[in-house]
A and B are shown apart, each in its own frame.
Chain A
Amino acid sequence: MQTQVQKATEPEQNSVVEQKVQKLRELYADAPELGRAALERGLPNLKRELAAATGMQNAGRIGARQGKVSELTGIIPFAKGGAKRLRGLLQALEGNFRGGDAVGTLHDMRFVFLDNDTKLLFATAYDGEWDAYIDDFVTKIPDAMDLLFCNIEGWPGIHSPSVKDFIAGHQIAAEAWYVANPNLTVVETRRLEQIGKAADEFLDKVA
């Protein structure tokens, strides 16, 4: 869905930017000296960003989105023995997630073990909405889902009707979300790679 960019008149926009700058000065009033100085020195650049239209949208129930790319972040306690199992599984995989390729929307996945292996930080960037496809995961990749996530506390199993609520319940919305190419899905990126390669081959031939 395209975001409507509201065009404000210049004086209106200037006053909005000035208000934002004023707010930032107040916030940074108790910052260390170098922070306050950085704010003042950086103001010309910062003003351009403050004047730009918002890039943030909501992704489904919870989470942020820019263009077509959404974020999902969760911090979830491990089940008993879960950290050890998951670490062993991830080490055995050595970074190969073929099922991730098949999903076709996962830009990345990050597994970080926190607080002496008591909690998992899971973070991913993906296209569109995840919950529209959760039923497809249930019939197409149930074992992959359960193998990974049985290691976290309270995982109801991918077949459980409550699995959507479980995931959404552990999601923490990102305060900010930056995407360099917000309109490029995983599928589009692969297509452009192919087109680029074909174009180079063509140019090699005609050169």
Chain B
Amino acid sequence: MLSVNESAGAKLATEAPTLEFQEIQATVLRVRPAPYFGTHVLLRIDNAQAGRDFLRRVTPHVDSAAGWWAAANAWLAIGISYAGLEALGLREDSLRSFPEAFRLGMAARAQHLGDEGVNHPKNWDLPFGKGQIHIGVSVFSDSEEKRRRTLNLAREQYDASSGVSVLAMQDFGAQPGDLNPLGYKDGIDQPTIEGSGVESPPGYGRPIKAGEFILGYPGEAGIPLPMPHPDILGRNGTYVGLRKYQSRVGAFNRFLRANANTEEERELLAAKLVGRWRSGAPLTLAPVVDDPTLGADAKRNNNFDYSDDPRGRGAPFGCHMRRMNPRDTQLSRLTDVNLHRVIRRGTTYGPPYDPNAMSEEADEVPRGAYFLFISAKAMATIEFLQQEWINDGNFIGIGDERDPIVGLQEQGATFTIPREPVRRRVHGIETFNVLRGGEYFFMPSLSALRWIGELG
């Protein structure tokens, strides 16, 4: 009687709903250009009227997802934290209709996120964790010149409002070769959203119901997720979890040298941690040596499942890639992998990866990424990922081990590499990416931005 279903979303034969592209903010669907240039601006609203003035002025410049494929242009995105919605004077019943984790904010949910020790909010960079961040404005662009022009457009709007203060600004941009701060090719593997018209390269999996990523549409269970009200506020909106990481490049390089004798061995160990070579080539397709041509080929570098690697001898069970999207891996807990996907928009800051940086000073060079995780239930999904797939190994049958790239490591942490005849267990894993800030934002539709601007 207790039979296990295929995911309900896979069975629902209903027509995919038409997405209201002109309402949805561009960042939700628009793929980050490569190379990319951008800036995050964090704002505080000092009085409600000024905040709403700013929203009224800036909204006409916020891009919608209509024509998302025309990513050659620069665009602006706006997110509002719960403290921001309060500061803008939203009515009590609207405020109460937001999920609890969003209302409390990311710092207050530290326990649920496993953000303890070095990742604890008391160690975060300002202005994070103080309840002061009200609005996040992000500029994305394919050229430095357009970035500056678009940022100026945003700046004119908040400079004109005396009651809006800039708390922080952070430029970001692609490193040479589109590498992340630990030197790996970035941005491979995103969920495919049903009805978005985005044609994913082979291997990206079946399209996931739009309601998992955008409010107001049916999700994987066949019904829309709960939405803040009134309807105009919630519909076509979504949530963004922002997490700022500092990459400890020295510690990472020291770990690789301590556990490998030659450059070949080092690069293989580095690949085992992620599941991909630095070129982006996955170990499932290139298990022994790197294949840079494969890594660079978007049509092939994600086109695999784990049916030929059931024991993790190519991509270890605990590697970052397999944890973040286990695909067809036999999991030890009952899990619907399609429920725990997020749209990731990684934005890298600081100097590029230096393979020769070995010192502890190198760990503190400001360098890392602001990760944007976009989902209609971003809070629940990020908490799930942090608890289950990042800072635990039980779900995939490897006990206490944690994600070697983004996990928070405890003393004596290990990483197991399955191989013939016996597995290798690597010791001395440290926290290579330290959390230095984070916040939850609501990313309203364009109509909702106008509606908030007209309040009061």
The answer for the CA separation of A136 and B380 in the assembled complex, in Å, is 13
Cross-chain contact B334 with A143 (CB below 8 angstroms) = no
Instruction: Choose one: B5, B8, B384; the contact of A132 (CB below 8 Å).
Output: B384
The contact of B387 among A102, A105, A129, A159, by CB within 8 Å, is: A129
In the complex, per-residue mask of B221-233: 1 if CB is within 8 Å of any chain A CB, else 0? 1110110000000
Is A56 close to B, CB under 8 A?
Answer: no
Q: Is B190 an interface residue (CB 8 A)?
A: no
* Interface residues as binary, A134-153 with B (CB distance below 8 Å gives 1, 0 otherwise): 01111111111001000000
Interface residues of B in 31-45 (CB under 8 A from A): none
Q: Let me know if A161 is at the binding interface, CB within 8 A.
A: yes
Residue of B nearest to A183 (CB): B400
Question: Which of the 9-residue segments A23-31, A40-48, A92-100, A110-118 touches chain B?
Answer: A92-100
Contact A139 B3 (CB under 8 A): no
With a CB–CB cut-off of 8 A, which chain B residues contact A89?
Answer: 1
Q: Which residues of B contact A135 (CB under 8 A)?
A: 221, 336, 339, 380
Partner of A139, one of B1, B5, B114, B116: B5
- Whole-angstrom distance between the Cβ of B8 and the nearest chain A Cβ: 4
**A70 contacts across to B, CB distance below 8 A:** none
Query: A191 near B: Cβ within 8 Å?
Result: yes
Sorting the interface of chain B by its residue count into under 10, 10 to 19, 20 to 34 or 35 or more gives 20 to 34
The answer to whether A191 and B397 touch across the interface, beta carbons within 8 angstroms, is yes
Give A143 to B221 CA distance when docked, in angstroms. Answer: 13
| Residue from the list B225, B336, B383 in contact with A140, Cβ < 8 A | B336
Q: A132-B387, A135-B339 are in contact. Are A102 and B399 (CB under 8 A)?
A: no
A143 CB to closest chain B CB (Å) equals 7
B399 touches A141 (CB 8 A): no
Chain A residues, Cβ within 8 Å of B338 = 139
| Complex Cα spacing A143 to B1, Å | 8
Let me know if A2 is at the binding interface, CB within 8 A. yes
At the interface, yes or no: B267 with Cβ under 8 Å from chain A? no
Whether the pair A140, B394 counts as a contact (CB closer than 8 A) is: no
In the complex the two chains form, what is the Cα distance from A187 to B397 in whole Å?
6
Chain A residues whose CB sits within 8 angstroms of the CB of B384 once the complex forms: 132
Q: Which residue of A68, A136, A144 is within 8 Å of B1 (Cβ)?
A: A144
A104 touches B332 (CB 8 A): yes
State whether B223 touches A159 (Cβ < 8 A): yes
**A159 with B222: in contact, given A132-B383, A136-B336, A188-B394 (CB under 8 Å)?**
yes
- Chain B residues with CB below 8 A from A191, complex form: 397, 399
The answer to whether A133 has its CB under 8 Å from any CB of chain B is yes
Q: Is B410 an interface residue (CB 8 A)?
A: yes
Q: Are B5 and A140 in contact (CB under 8 A)?
A: yes
- Check: B388 CB closer than 8 A to any chain A CB: yes
Contact between chains at A100 and B2 (CB < 8 Å): yes
Asked if B307 is at the interface (CB within 8 A of a chain A CB), the reply is no
Q: Is A103 an interface residue (CB 8 A)?
A: yes
Question: A128 at interface (Cβ–Cβ under 8 A)?
Answer: yes
With A132-B384, A191-B397 known as contacts, the answer to whether A140 contacts B2 (CB < 8 A) is no
Among residues of B, the one whose C-beta sits closest to the C-beta of A160 is: B223
Partner among A68, A104, A143, A161 whose Cβ is within 8 Å of the Cβ of B333: A104
Is B335 at the interface (CB under 8 A from chain A)?
Answer: yes
- Check A140–B220 contact: CB distance below 8 A: no
In the complex, the chain B residue whose C-beta lies closest to that of A103 is: B334
B422 in contact (CB, < 8 A): no
Residues of B within 8 A of A5 (CB): none
Residue A1 interfacial (CB < 8 Å): yes
Output the residue of A98, A102, A142, A187 with the most chain B CB within 10 A. Answer: A187
Contact digits for B315-343, partner A, Cβ 8 Å, 1 yes 0 no = 00000000000000001111110110000
Using Cβ atoms and an 8 Å threshold, which residues of chain A touch B333?
103-105, 133, 187
Closest A residue to B397 by beta carbon equals A187
Q: State whether the Cβ of A71 lies closer than 8 Å to any Cβ in chain B.
A: no
A33 to chain B, nearest CB (A): 46
Q: Among B7, B335, B399, which residue has its beta carbon within 8 angstroms of that of A133?
A: B335
Smallest Cβ-Cβ distance to B338: which chain A residue: A139
Contact residues of B with A, CB < 8 Å?
1-5, 7-9, 114, 116, 220-223, 225-226, 331-336, 338-339, 380, 383-384, 387-388, 392, 394, 397, 399, 410
Chain A interfacial positions (CB closer than 8 Å to B): 1-2, 68, 89, 93, 97-100, 102-105, 127-129, 132-133, 135-144, 147, 159, 161, 185, 187-188, 190-191
Given A98-B2, A104-B331, A138-B8, 9 more contacts at CB 8 Å? A1-B114, A68-B394, A97-B2, A133-B333, A138-B221, A139-B220, A139-B336, A143-B3, A144-B1
7 contacts between A and B (CB under 8 A): A128-B388, A132-B380, A133-B333, A139-B5, A140-B334, A144-B3, A190-B332
